[in-house]
Structure 1
Amino acid sequence: MSNFVAPEIKGFKEWDYVVFAALLVVSAGIGVFFAIKERKKKTSNEFLVGGRQMTCGPVALSLTASFMSAITVLGTPSEVVRFGAYYLYFIIAYTFVITFSAELFIPVFYRSGITSTYEYLELRFSRVVRYAATIMYIIQTILYTGVVVYAPALALNQVTGFNLWGSVFATGIVCTFYCTLGGLKAVVWTDAFQMVVMVIGFLSVLIEGTIQNGGPTKIWETAMNGSRLDILDFSPDPLQRHTFWTIAVGGTFTWLGIYGVNQSTVQRCISCKTEKHAKLALYLNLVGLWIILVCAVFSGLVMYAHFQGCDPWTAGFISAPDQMMPYFVMTIFSSLPGLPGLFVACAFSGTLSTVAASINALATVTYEDIVKNIFKNISDKKSTWISKGLCVVFGVLCTVMAVVASFMGGVVQAALSIHGMCGGPMLGLFTLGILFPCTNWKGALGGLLTGFVMSFWVGIGGFIYPAPPSKTFPLELRTDECILANVTSNTTELLSTYLPTTLPTTAPSRSLLADNWYSISYLYYSAVGCLSCIIAGLLISFITGREHGRNIKPLLIRPICNLFCFWSDKYKEMCWCGVPHDTEEDFDSKDILHKDINMTPVTEVPTENGYDRDSTRKPPPGYNEAEKSYTNVNVEKVSQM
């Protein structure tokens, strides 16, 4: 038991439950609204990608909400308190991630007309590569989504008294409900609403916390005196947990693996009515990422100022660092009923948006990559019902995974790292396909497997042999202002009891491998997987016979030479490996693979008004200029590799 006296923290009141319930009701109501509004549009295309008629605004808000989960809301402020404001460097990483996604990956995915990201892998490589990536994605996403549901529910339960399983099942039921009824449009618009709730929740904490702790100037001075702003660390040492380079470089690889080629992101981008809207959605989303990140970091600084003399985790008032933020909220809002409920709504908005996006993405991948290849010529009505059924199935699986996570103890942190380890090899696989035309399917499959082996090797080794304390030791957390329950206990004894980072008396023996390879920063796991995949993929391709350009559609690649406009045609042709590089920018409508309402490929040039008005070409077959939309039309499918 703790030797400190914990201050009394009141649990949820009636108004807190009302505010939280309102979030769930509005989220479910959006699903009902779109179910009624779209009831006459009964195709899987409408259900899964919104008929490809979404605009950039709601898609941008949806993207931000989905990738800023409750783990960000609860975990980032705690990281700032324990390790400093290094997370601000993620502003640089996010900028690189969005730029690469918008200029490199999304144009290829959008123009190729795919619905599932992994459909691209069959067009570019082979069906074997597609299935391998699809299965890995499904397993990884179910595991991660279950953790996203359970981790914040546990943290909030132990601090606020909010019912653990009530919140878990409420999250699963509500997300499954509006995903099944309203499809992607419901997911996007619900995410947009939840993004607003997240920002309001953060601002309420920042404003009240700043007022109670002496204003912005006092908080800034406290953070500086406590070394929370000493983040100018440019050490190139990859073994240090957080430096400028580990976050700017390693963070870019990590988020690009999760963001740039993730089905959840790609699906919403290709749901936009034009490629321009898709790119604009990503850049607007970047602003949202910056806002959420800055709010989270400054919430951590305010929280540090509030607990500077009596850290609740070190004192034993809470059992895990992730509980620090809800504990702080319950402290500052103890006399303001309804506001604790607003923060819980903020945290669960992140959870709902992430889970809903995952369920919709899982349903899309399963339908496009598995169901359609097993059952041919599915009718529109059946395809819609199958898609909805898949949403229900994956909603149940993700909720069950949350229950399983409760019995796995420390698997929460492990699962989050595994999510990053899976993203690296996937990023490497798509990079091989898009940037390196010489890569064949054998190289792609071999590179993917090599990337997974390398990233899991370093990741699992890091769990078994954690990095030395000199690389991860947190900043000082004081308890000298806490009230002692037993005045005979001295501070040294208390710190040795409650500081989890205290060095053991006898350090376990460590090999050279453990002190170097296994001690690499967790942010480099994705980079290890990605680079291993690319290197192995290229080597295997050259050994087994590189791919020839005549087998590749120009729209499926964007070689690295495109970044260097001064290169001669000779070198460009060499980098394109025989693919006609002069047709990449001025592509012909017959090379565009989009789907009509029957999911049959039709032709389209993706410009703002549906086709290229600046050329002399006629509109593609089935395009209604007055309606600015497509009608049902069957066009001979472009040959697929």
Structure 2
Amino acid sequence: MQLSIIDLVIFLGYMAGILLFGVSFYFKKDKSTDDYITGGRKLPSWAIGMSIFATFVSSISFLALPGNAYLSNWNSFVFSLSIPIAALIAVKFFIPLYREVNSDSAYYYLELRFGGWARTYASIFYLLTQLARMGSILYLLALPMNALLGWDIATIIIITGICVIIYASMGGIEAVIWTDAIQGVVLILGALTCLGIIMFSMPEGPGQVIEIGRENNKFSLGSLDFDLTRSTFWVILVYGLVINLQNFGVDQNYVQRYMSAKNEKEAIKSTWFGSLLYVPVSLLFFFIGTALFAYYQINAHLLPEELLVAEAADRIFPFFIVHGLPTGMTGLLIAAIFAAGMSTISTSLNSSATIILTDHYKKNIQKEVSSKVSFRVLMGSAIFMGILSIFVALAMMGVQSALEAWWALSSIFSGGILGLFLLGYFAKNVERVEAAIGVVLGVLVITWMSLSVFVFQEGIWVNPFHANLTIVFGTIVIFLTGFLLSLLKGKNKDHQVKEKA
């Protein structure tokens, strides 16, 4: 499958433009560690908000959400409905906390509460999560590019990875946030244009999409039954709430943006802007999926036979991009898909470099370092993490389902961090021993729920609950274990005091 010259020029021109724009921040006259990590704490709230939005969206969202809506309904949109609830908790509790602690690391607070082990544990597992995340996105981004352009998957992974490494490592957080802002705009405009073309391509006009969608129950948000084994409305809502609390509460990607704002008020404003923007944009993606379903109900003859099966749902949107859009728009949409993936990876590279410097290099190797040395460590760490993520992506080529592998790995790596943070913030009497026991039990539960189906295949030892509840149960186990142990410890102390009296 070959792109037209115009589409190829638009796509390659966009990639080159983003790369040069990101690298340009490296040549600023005054560079410091603070500039690299927080942009000098002077970035405008709207740009930070766009970056938060772009962090939410990845190339997976751009392709998987329309595919999901095409195949079934809008059940997964319930995840987006949980974001405003999580954002409200973030602006009320988390942002004031991090601004008060005033550390570049999201995990310094855990050290204050539970000691150095908690910070080391959280930061190491955060880095492992980011490697899995970046590797998965690089690989999943390469799949549609392989279908669209016919290029080798390994080649796409390496070239994309190198491009992001260059501007993310050289430009720091300013390059990440400003390129995120640009890529967020490209992504939204591309999706809006695509939806408009589909809607007005219907023989009876845009209303036909709504009519066909209603007839096929495409706008359903899922069953309202309290069934923990299926993807019901409530399961997705609770899962979304926990995942988004994790994003806002303990994800360095987000915490770093709180610290990049001029003050607490601006940080809150950017968080509301970025999180609330994602809700209608994700709705836009679901609407594209439903519109594609309606379009190909009318024009079924346009789909090749291999795309008529359910397993091919994620390939419908890329197929339409190539065959259903006018020349020029195809290049823009491919650029938008790359924009989504690149913005997520660049964010992870910058935050990972920050964690390596603050939580490991300064803590364990050299406490007092010059700005020049810090800058070198940050750049070197970003390059190192980027190269590792390319290898992870290449390894994903041998995995049957990269998306399932990412879900399992992210649950195990990141599931314990949120429970530990909530324990530290809301249960003030919990000390390090109770917290450590809670984390061990929680991670064991998460590991069992994630991997039991692969180990036992079937039987009573296989996790009976829906996969999305893994991180929910893990977080609850950590919190309740630490909280109850602290209560028992308190009662034992009171009992001992009474006996002595």
Q: CA deviation at 1:255?
A: 2.5
Cα 1:156–1:105 shift into 2, 3 Å: same
Match of 1:331 among 317, 323, 327: 323
How far apart, CA to CA, are the structure 2 residues paired with 1:163 and 1:535?
Answer: 49
Provide the C-alpha distance between the structure 2 equivalents of 1:366 and 1:313, rounded to a whole number of angstroms. Answer: 48
Query: How far did residue 417 of structure 1 move?
Result: 4.0
Does the alignment pair 1:275 with 2:246?
no
Deviation at 1:18, TM superposition (A): 1.4
Equivalent in 91, 95, 118 of residue 107 of structure 2: 118
Q: Take 2:403 and 2:222, find their aligned partners in 1: how far apart are those partners?
A: 30
Name the CA shift for 1:529/1:422 in 2 (closer, same or farther; >3 Å): farther
- Aligned 8 A contact 1:159 1:323 in 2: no
Letter matched to residue 79 of structure 2 = F
CA distance in 2, matches of 1:30, 1:174: 12
Counterpart of 2:385 (choices 394, 402, 408) is 394
5 Å-filtered alignment, 1:289-304, equals: 289-304=278-293
Which residue of 434, 447, 455 corresponds with 1:443?
434
**Does the alignment pair 1:528 with 2:486?**
no
Query: How far apart in 2 are the matches of 1:96 and 1:422?
Result: 24
- When residues 431 and 101 of structure 1 are mapped into structure 2, their CA distance, relative to the original with a 3 A threshold, is same
Structure 1 vs Structure 2: percent identity of aligned residues? Answer: 26
Query: 1:271 deviation in Å?
Result: 1.3
After the TM superposition, which residues 570-589 of structure 1 pair with which residues of structure 2 at under 5 Å, given as runs?
none
Partners of 2:91 and 2:256 lie apart in 1 by: 14
Per-residue deviation, 1:412: 3.0
Q: How does 1:230-241 map to 2 (within 5 A)?
A: 230-231=220-221, 233-241=223-231
The residue type paired with residue 410 of structure 2 is H
1:545–1:29 Cα change, 3 Å: farther
Tell me the amino acid that sits aligned with residue 344 of structure 1. Answer: I
Q: Within the alignment, does 1:179 sit opposite 2:168 as a pair?
A: yes
Q: Which of the pair has more CA radius of gyration?
A: 1
RMSD between aligned residues: 2.2
**Partner Cα distance (1:369, 1:232) in 2:** 42
Once residues 537 and 246 of structure 1 are traced to their aligned partners in structure 2, the CA distance between those partners, rounded to angstroms, is 25
Match of 1:72 in 2: 61
Displacement of 1:409 in angstroms is: 2.6
Partner in structure 2 of residue 93 of structure 1: 82
Counterpart Cα distance in 1 of 2:34 and 2:108? 15
* Structure 1 residue 227 corresponds to structure 2 residue 217: yes
CA distance in 1, matches of 2:305, 2:122: 43
Deviations 1:46-75 (A, max 9, x none): 211212222211000001111200000000
Residue 371, structure 1, aligned to residue 361, structure 2: yes
The yes-or-no answer on 1:29 pairing with 2:28 is no
2:178 alignment partner AA: W
1:350 maps to which of 340, 344, 358 = 340
Q: What's 1:6 paired with?
A: none
Unaligned runs of 5+ in 1: 1-9, 467-509, 549-641
Per-residue deviation, 1:207: 0.9
CA distance in 2, matches of 1:165, 1:201: 26
**Residues 187 and 339 of structure 2 are in contact (CA less than 8 Å); yes or no, is this contact kept in structure 1?**
yes
Match of 2:4 in 1: 13
Which residue in the other structure is 2:30 paired with?
40
1:279 offset after TM fit, Å? Answer: 0.7
Which residue identity does 2:20 align to in structure 1? G
Preserved contact between residue 155 and residue 322 of structure 1 (Cα < 8 Å): no
Deviations 1:376-406 (A, max 9, x none): 2211111111111111111111112111111
Q: Report if aligned partners of 1:257, 1:526 keep a CA contact under 8 Å in 2.
A: no
The change in CA–CA distance for 1:315 and 1:164 in structure 2 (over 3 A counts) is closer
Answer yes or no: is 1:261 the counterpart of 2:250.
yes
Paired residues of 1:258 and 1:423 also in contact (CA < 8 A): no
Report Cα offsets for 1:484-534 as digits up to 9, x if no partner. Answer: xxxxxxxxxxxxxxxxxxxxxxxxxx53454xxx24222222211110110
- Which residue in 2 is equivalent to 1:562? none
Letter in 2 for 1:324: I
What CA deviation, in whole Å up to 9, does each residue of 1:274-295 have, x standing for no partner?
0111111110112321132111
Q: Does 1:539 align with 2:484?
A: yes
Match of 2:352 among 362, 383, 400: 362
Distance 2:255 2:40 in 1: 15
* Equivalent of residue 412 in structure 1, options 403, 407, 426: 403
Aligned residue number for residue 597 of structure 1: none
> Aligned equivalents of 1:412 and 1:273: distance in 2?
37
**Aligned CA distance change for structure 1 residues 463 and 15 (closer, same or farther; 3 Å):** farther
- SS of the residue 2:82 aligns to: helix
Match in the other structure for 1:383: 374
Q: How many residues were matched structurally?
A: 487
CA separation of 1:126 and 1:363: change in aligned 2, threshold 3 A: same
Q: How far is the alpha carbon of 1:306 from its aligned partner?
A: 2.0
Please point out which of 94, 97, 102 is paired with 1:105.
94
Would you say the 8 A contact 2:452–2:461 is kept in 1? Answer: no
SS at match of 1:520: coil
Alpha-carbon contact 1:117-1:261 (below 8 Å) kept:
yes
Q: What's the secondary structure of 1:115's corresponding residue? A: coil
Q: Aligned partner of 1:158: which letter?
A: A
Residue type of the alignment partner of 2:350: N
Separation in 2 of the partners of 1:464 and 1:317? Answer: 33
| TM-score, length basis structure 2 | 0.92
C-alpha distance after superposition, 1:222-241 (max 9, x if no partner): 11112212336211111112
What amino acid is aligned across from residue 524 of structure 1 in structure 2? L
Question: Are residue 58 (structure 1) and residue 47 (structure 2) matched?
Answer: yes
1:138 CA drift (Å)? 1.0
Which has the higher mean CA deviation after the structures are superposed, 122-131 or 12-21? Answer: 12-21
Cα displacement (A) at 1:413:
2.0
For residue 435 of structure 1, what is the amino acid of its counterpart?
F
CA spacing shift, 1:166–1:291, aligned 2, 3 Å: farther
Secondary structure in 1 matching 2:200 = helix
Task: Assess if the C-alpha contact under 8 Å between 2:199 and 2:206 holds in 1.
Answer: yes
Question: Unaligned 5+ residue runs, structure 2?
Answer: 494-501
Task: Sort the Cα spacing of 1:55 and 1:317 in 2 relative to 1 into closer, same or farther, 3 A.
Answer: same
CA distance in 1, matches of 2:280, 2:58: 14
User: Helix, strand or coil: the match of 1:212?
Assistant: coil
Q: 511, 524, 529: which is aligned to 2:459?
A: 511
Residue equivalent to 2:497: none
> Is structure 2 residue 193 aligned with structure 1 residue 204?
yes
Displacement after TM superposition at 1:156 (Å):
2.8
SS of the aligned residue for 1:409 comes to: coil
Q: Considering Cα pairs closer than 8 Å and 6+ residues apart, tell me whether 1 or 2 has the greater RCO.
A: 2
